[in-house]
Amino acid sequence: MNLPMTLIGALTAIVVMALVTYLTRAGGVLVMSRVPIGPKVERFINAMAGSVLVAVITPMAVHGDGAARLALLATLGVMLILRKPLPAIAAGIVSAALWRFWVSL
């Protein structure tokens, strides 16, 4: 099924996207409010929470270029030492920028 790229078609597409996206935002809470939370469910949720981030970050590190890898490494290093997010993120960005300028020279 296709929508024509008229104003109405485009607006429909945007509203449909918005509805689908809100469904994902609210859906997890909606489902959980119908699941009794026992110790098992709680352990699942706790492990899953960090795993979401791991699953987002790992492919960036593995499939990313040298700059992305260096940035993540710098962030991890500074974070482990200082335990402050802002210097850690700054270290990551600066590393990536320096790497790209260095490589493109």
Partner 1 sequence: MSARLDLPGTLSGIKRMAPLSLFVIVFGLAFGVAALQRGLSGLETLLMSALVFAGASQFAALELWGPQIPLIALIATTFAINARHLLMGAALYPWLRHLPTRQRYASLTVLSDANWAMAAADHQRGETNVGMLVGGGLAIWLAWMIGTLMGVVFGSGITDPERYGLDVIMGCFLLAMLVGGKRDLSMLLPWSVAALSALAAMAWLPENSHVIVGALAGGVAGLLVPGKPQKREASA
* Smallest separation, CB 36 to partner 1 (Å): 12
- Residue 105 within binding range of partner 1, rule CB under 8 A: no
Residue 6 phi, psi (nearest 5): -95, 180
8-state DSSP, 18:
H
* Smallest separation, CB 52 to partner 1 (Å): 4
Q: Kindly write out the interface string for residues 55-94 of this chain, putting x where it contacts partner 1 by CB under 8 A and - elsewhere.
A: xxxxxxxxxx--xx--xx-xxx--xx--x-xx-xx--xxx
d(CA 71, CA 21): 30
Identify the sign of the CA torsion 75, 79, 81, 86.
Answer: positive
8-state DSSP, 34:
T
Position of tokens 């970050």?
57
Q: Which of residues 14, 36, 66, 102 is near partner 1 by CB under 8 A?
A: 14
Site for partner 1 in 23-52 (CB under 8 A): 23-29, 31-33, 37, 39-40, 42-52
